[in-house]
């Protein structure tokens, strides 16, 4: 039916747009906190200023994150009423806790923003950031729990198409939860780090040679590298989770057609005629290692699943994009840190700075690819093994019109937020702000 | 008290909280835009901005809290209301999104333009209208339940006097609540000009608000006989609410105790809101869905209530801190500190 298609497109559109701002929303408070902490510890005005400037940009992204988050929250009910009626009985708890975390963050962010000069002691002001950062991360944790329930539903019994004997905590702490939550958090911090690094690198290219930018670069890239490595390790655990609990997703994303032992990993490649792989690189044993940690173990292939339960095979491309970007960014970060430590000149040469500029946008692309992979990889189920997507959508006939309206809205918000952010920082570069502050004190 | 009664009471209280703070917010945006139009913005814009800035995000959370809570406690509402509300609720989301983000863009991003002030101010008036449709629908008579699924009868909805009464009520009370609050706030700020202007607005909007509220009771007599009868059973609550209304207007008229006046106004709306809710019992959506039918399982209900209490232990002190730092801080209100 048409409304199923449009509901899927509209949900995907809203989430794709929301994720950009939500990822920044989860990651940046950590960095604002670190900058302010270092500023107080080192008695260095530059770091305090860093916290201020990041906060100013952050508030713009938060605003868009809040309103698009409200949109997706309501759209879940509007577009997937049958799903919410059924699943609400098992996942209402984490959804509810997510709003609490969000509430908590909203209150303290408001206070933080308006008390820059209220306290004599900067440490007091810094303490306000802890609930902001905790609230932001907790809402990511809780909402990811909801999503992992959709991948690995448990904590209830089915009777006549209804959930009975629901155990909310068992539903929350499902097998998909640990890897998903950890991966979401690590990649959000990583992405935030490299977005801030991109901005710093860009300012240096544009002629601002101030020590401030170098401090910012070193701080963000160091932390970014730690989280890039963490993301990769958690990604490996996710592979093992999939092999054990969602083998059809793993088989589809790795183009693993036949069940075999000593399975090799297919990198890149193009799929033709449905099952012929061309131009790929095979790494022997790697898939067995990824799936079970043992080069000779057996990995289930797509031959083991009925055709109607297999997700679309294009998710292989998404997987490649995500992993390649992760590797590339980690490598660039490592080169920068080592080069900076050895005082090599090349790290501030234009070609390398431009490479740094690409890391932020690339990370965001990887986040999107990763979410598309996770979500499309669950098709055709909305609740894996229980409720098919086509049975969950609304029966309303107006979804297409709403889709066009929301496209307009997101275009408007996207363009406006970018314009506002650029204007904010172009009009007030760091040199000027430092001068103004000295003049004022 | 049964779990479903606890659930609906808490949610009703939350909806009330949203209505009050959202009214202040929507009304403030409107008065700000209106004062710009009539070139009186130099009088009240500062007062409004100083109040709105730290709390705009919190206002939004109240709404999210309510709809997540109602789906949590009563998952069947997702099916009934979710299916039929696609268009009105989507329009509401779009308006809220434009409003919320442009507030942030203009305040923090210095996107100064009269166009946005007008957009912000006037869109605020459309939001209560698009959201109050839910109250109309809950009275029954606007949903077709056929084998193809549920659908909203837009024609009946558009031509029903009940719809327009509820829309008018939401508009007038938004302006009334907001004006009373801002009068108090401006008075705290020792801003006499702003106080005088806002006091005038409060008095202007008081009577349309009370008249439409009365009108709805009459409409219901025709539209939903059962609800009307139930309302008569709690007539004393409506009477009490009316007395509080009279007391509020008296204090404002006499230019006395604006703080008390605002508290009385909260009391007036709280009592009327609960009287309306109690008389709507036991229906969530007349006549398809009752509270008992729509309720979640016991395990989830207990978990939600525990989460709620735990969450509140965190929230109440934080909200108190927010109010102490901004709303109840004389130096901040008077603009002596940022």
Report chain B's C-alpha Rg in angstroms. 20
Instruction: Report, as an integer, the average pLDDT of A59-84.
Output: 87
Report the alpha-carbon distance of residue A56 to residue A52 in Å, rounded.
6
Report residue A440's pLDDT band, with 50, 70 and 90 as the boundaries. Answer: very low
Q: Closest Cα of chain A to B43: distance in Å?
A: 23
Q: Which of A77-91, A109-123, A174-188 has the highest mean pLDDT?
A: A174-188
Q: How far is CA A117 from the centre of its chain?
A: 33
- Give the chain A residue nearest B53 (alpha carbons): A110
Q: In terms of C-beta density within 10 A (0-12 exposed, 13-18 middle, 19 or more buried), how is residue A193 classed?
A: buried
Give residue-wise pLDDT tens across range B141-180. 677 766 667 777 777 778 778 888 888 888 888 888 888 8
DSSP A70-130: HHHHHHHHHH-HHHHHHHHHHHHHHHHHHHHHHHHHHHHHHHHHH-TTT-SSHHHHHHTHH
Q: Does the structure show a pLDDT above 80 at A335? A: yes
Tokens 């209106």 sit at which residue? B34
DSSP A135-197: HHHHHHHHHHHHHHHHHS--S-EEETTEEES--HHHHHT-TTHHHHHHHHHHHHHHHHHHHHH
Contact criterion met (CB < 8 Å) for B65 and A103: yes
Tokens of A246: 């969602």
Q: Chain B partners of A406 at a C-beta cutoff of 8 Å?
A: 90, 94
Q: Chain B partners of A167 at a C-beta cutoff of 8 Å?
A: 299
Give the angle A376-A377-A380 at the CA atoms, nearest 5°.
75
Q: Chain A partners of B11 at a C-beta cutoff of 8 Å?
A: none
Contact criterion met (CB < 8 Å) for B86 and A79: yes
Q: Closest Cα of chain B to A41: distance in Å?
A: 26
How many of the other CB atoms lie within 10 Å of CB of B195? 23
Q: Chain B partners of A98 at a C-beta cutoff of 8 Å?
A: 68
Contact criterion met (CB < 8 Å) for B96 and A80: no
Contact criterion met (CB < 8 Å) for A118 and B55: no
Per-residue pLDDT, A296: 77
In this complex, the residue of A67, A78, A99 whose CB is nearest that of residue B68 is A99
Per-residue pLDDT, B225: 77
Give residue-wise pLDDT tens across range B65-124. 888 888 888 888 888 888 888 888 888 888 888 888 877 777 766 666 777 778 778 888
Is A217 in contact with A200 (CB distance < 8 Å)?
yes
Per-residue pLDDT, B107: 72
Per-residue pLDDT, B110: 65
Range of weakest confidence among A142-151, A169-178, A305-314, B282-291: B282-291
Q: Which has more pLDDT, A256 or A179?
A: A179
Looking at the DSSP bridge assignments, the partners of residue A277 are A271
Give residue-wise pLDDT tens across range B207-230. 887 888 788 877 777 777 777 787
Query: Containing H/E element for B93?
Result: helix B86-109
Per-residue pLDDT, A191: 94
> Which DSSP category does A388 fall into?
E
State the distance between the two ends of chain A, measured CA to CA, in whole angstroms. 66
Confirm or reject contact between B17 and chain A (CB < 8 A): no
Give residue-wise pLDDT tens across range A112-154. 877 777 777 778 888 888 888 898 899 899 999 999 988 888 8
Size of interface A-B (CB pairs under 8 A): 227
Q: Which has more pLDDT, B261 or A208?
A: B261
Confirm or reject contact between B1 and chain A (CB < 8 A): no
Report the alpha-carbon distance of residue B208 to residue A321 in Å, rounded.
60
Tokens of B282: 């036991």
Domain that holds residue B37: 3-333
Give residue-wise pLDDT tens across range A250-305. 888 888 777 777 777 777 877 776 677 777 777 777 677 776 777 777 777 777 87
Tokens of A19: 């994720």
Tokens of B136: 């109309």
User: Which B residues, 270 through 309, put their C-beta within 8 Å of a C-beta on chain A?
Assistant: 296-297, 299-300, 303-304, 307-308
Q: Chain B partners of A69 at a C-beta cutoff of 8 Å?
A: 64
- Give the chain B residue nearest A396 (alpha carbons): B83
- List of E strands, chain B: 143-146, 149-152, 283-285, 289-290
Report the alpha-carbon distance of residue A147 to residue A143 in Å, rounded.
6
Q: Which of B329, B334, B338, B323 is nearest to B47 (CA)?
A: B334
Q: Closest Cα of chain B to A162: distance in Å?
A: 10
Q: Which has more pLDDT, A409 or B148?
A: A409
- Give the chain B residue nearest A169 (alpha carbons): B303
Instruction: Report, as an integer, the average pLDDT of A61-82.
Output: 87
Q: Which has more pLDDT, B240 or B51?
A: B240
Instruction: Report, as an integer, the average pLDDT of B3-29.
Output: 85
Give residue-wise pLDDT tens across range A303-324. 787 888 888 888 888 988 998 8
Give residue-wise pLDDT tens across range A350-380. 888 898 899 999 999 999 999 999 888 888 8
Q: Closest Cα of chain B to A165: distance in Å?
A: 7
Q: How many domains in chain B?
A: 1
Per-residue pLDDT, B109: 64
Report residue A425's pLDDT band, with 50, 70 and 90 as the boundaries. Answer: confident
C-alpha to C-alpha distances, B123 to A27, A404, B50, B103, nearest whole angstrom: 32, 20, 20, 12
Q: Does the structure show a pLDDT above 60 at A441? A: no
Is B286 in contact with B138 (CB distance < 8 Å)?
yes
Q: Which of B189, B181, B195 is nearest to B337 (CA)?
A: B189
Q: Does the structure show a pLDDT above 80 at A174? A: yes
Q: Chain A partners of B109 at a C-beta cutoff of 8 Å?
A: 60, 420-421, 423-424
Instruction: Report, as an integer, the average pLDDT of B129-144.
Output: 78
Is B332 in contact with B326 (CB distance < 8 Å)?
yes
Q: Is residue B229 part of a domain?
A: yes
Contact criterion met (CB < 8 Å) for B61 and A103: yes
Report the alpha-carbon distance of residue A41 to residue A49 in Å, rounded.
14
CA torsion A94-A99-A103-A104 (nearest 10°) is 10
Confirm or reject contact between B313 and chain A (CB < 8 A): no
Q: Chain B partners of A405 at a C-beta cutoff of 8 Å?
A: 90-91, 94
The reply to whether ipTM tops 0.90 is: no
Q: Chain B partners of A89 at a C-beta cutoff of 8 Å?
A: 75, 296-297, 300
Q: Which of B133, B152, B149, B132 is nearest to B141 (CA)?
A: B152
Contact criterion met (CB < 8 Å) for A110 and B299: no
Q: Is residue B257 part of a domain?
A: yes
The pTM (predicted TM-score) of the whole model is 0.86
Per-residue pLDDT, A144: 92
Q: What is the mean pLDDT of chain B?
A: 79
Give residue-wise pLDDT tens across range A28-62. 999 999 998 988 888 888 888 888 888 888 888 88
Sequence-ordered list of residues with C-beta below 8 angstroms from that of A148, at least 6 positions apart, any chain: A174, A176, A177, A180, A181
């Amino acid at each position: 039916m048409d409304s199923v298609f449009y509901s899927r497109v509209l949900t995907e559109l809203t989430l794709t747009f929301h994720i950009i701002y939500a990822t920044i929303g989860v990651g940046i408070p950590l960095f604002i906190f670190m900058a302010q902490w270092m500023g107080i510890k080192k008695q260095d005005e530059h770091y305090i200023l860093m916290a201020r400037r990041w906060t100013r940009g952050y508030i713009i992204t938060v605003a868009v994150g809040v309103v698009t988050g409200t949109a997706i929250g309501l759209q879940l009910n509007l577009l997937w009423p049958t799903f919410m009626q059924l699943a609400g009985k098992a996942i209402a708890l984490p959804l509810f806790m997510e709003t609490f975390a969000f509430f908590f963050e909203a209150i303290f962010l408001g206070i933080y923003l308006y008390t820059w000069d209220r306290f004599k002691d900067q440490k007091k002001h810094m303490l306000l950031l802890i609930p902001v950062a905790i609230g932001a991360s907790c809402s990511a944790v809780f909402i990811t729990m909801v999503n992992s329930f959709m991948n690995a539903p448990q904590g209830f019994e089915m009777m006549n198409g209804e959930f009975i004997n629901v155990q909310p905590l068992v539903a929350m702490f499902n097998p998909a939860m640990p890897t998903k939550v950890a991966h979401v958090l690590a990649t959000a911090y990583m992405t935030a780090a490299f977005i801030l690094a991109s901005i710093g690198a860009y300012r240096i290219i544009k002629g601002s040679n101030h020590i401030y930018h170098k401090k910012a670069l070193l701080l963000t890239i160091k932390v970014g590298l730690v989280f890039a490595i963490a993301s990769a390790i958690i990604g490996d655990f996710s592979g093992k989770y999939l092999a054990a609990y969602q083998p059809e997703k793993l088989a589809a994303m790795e183009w693993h057609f036949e069940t075999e032992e000593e399975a090799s990993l297919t990198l890149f490649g193009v799929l033709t005629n449905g099952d012929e792989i061309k131009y790929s690189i095979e790494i022997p044993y790697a898939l067995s290692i990824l799936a079970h940690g043992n080069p000779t173990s057996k990995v289930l292939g797509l031959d083991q699943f009925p055709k109607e339960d297999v997700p679309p095979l294009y998710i292989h491309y998404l997987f490649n994009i995500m992993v390649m970007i992760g590797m590339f960014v980690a490598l660039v970060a490592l080169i920068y840190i080592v080069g900076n430590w050895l005082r090599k000149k090349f790290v501030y040469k234009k070609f390398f700075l431009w490479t740094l500029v690409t890391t932020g946008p690339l990370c965001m692309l990887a986040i999107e690819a990763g979410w598309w992979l996770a979500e499309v990889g669950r098709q055709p189920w909305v609740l894996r093994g229980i409720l098919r997507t086509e049975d969950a959508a609304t029966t309303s006939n107006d979804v297409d019109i709403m889709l066009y309206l929301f496209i307009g809205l997101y275009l408007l918000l996207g363009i406006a937020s970018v314009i506002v952010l650029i204007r904010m920082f172009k009009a007030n570069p760091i040199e000027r702000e430092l001068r103004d502050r000295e003049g004022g004190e | 008290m049964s779990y479903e009664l606890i659930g609906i009471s808490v949610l009703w209280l939350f909806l009330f909280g949203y209505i009050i703070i959202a009214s202040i917010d929507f009304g403030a945006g409107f008065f700000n835009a209106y004062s710009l139009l009539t070139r009186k913005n130099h009088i009240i814009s500062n007062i409004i901005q100083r109040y709105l800035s730290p709390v705009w995000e919190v206002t939004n959370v109240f709404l999210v809290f309510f709809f997540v809570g109602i789906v949590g406690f009563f998952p069947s509402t997702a099916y009934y209301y979710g299916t039929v509300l696609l268009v009105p609720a989507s329009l509401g989301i779009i308006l809220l999104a434009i409003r919320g983000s442009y507030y942030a863009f203009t305040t923090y991003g210095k996107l100064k333009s009269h166009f946005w002030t007008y957009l912000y101010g006037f869109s605020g008036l459309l939001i209560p209208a698009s959201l109050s449709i839910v109250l109309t629908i809950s009275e029954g008579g606007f949903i077709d339940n056929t084998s193809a699924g549920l659908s909203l009868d837009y024609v009946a909805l558009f031509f029903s006097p009940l719809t327009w009464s509820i829309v008018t009520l939401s508009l007038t009370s938004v302006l009334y609540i907001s004006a009373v609050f801002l009068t108090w706030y401006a008075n705290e700020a020792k801003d006499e000009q702003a106080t005088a202007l806002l006091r005038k607005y409060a008095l202007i909007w008081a009577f349309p608000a009370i008249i439409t509220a009365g009108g709805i009771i009459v409409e219901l007599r025709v539209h939903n006989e059962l609800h009307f009868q139930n309302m008569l059973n709690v007539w004393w609550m409506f009477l009490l609410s009316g007395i509080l209304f009279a007391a509020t207007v008296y204090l404002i008229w006499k230019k006395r105790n604006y703080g008390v006046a605002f508290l009385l106004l909260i009391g007036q709306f709280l009592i009327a809101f609960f009287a309306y809710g109690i008389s709507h019992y036991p229906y969530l959506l007349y006549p398809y869905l009752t509270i008992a039918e729509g309720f979640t399982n016991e395990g989830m209900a207990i978990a939600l209530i525990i989460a709620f209490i735990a969450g509140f232990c965190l929230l109440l002190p934080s909200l108190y801190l927010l109010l102490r730092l901004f709303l109840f801080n004389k130096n901040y209100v008077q603009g002596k500190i940022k």
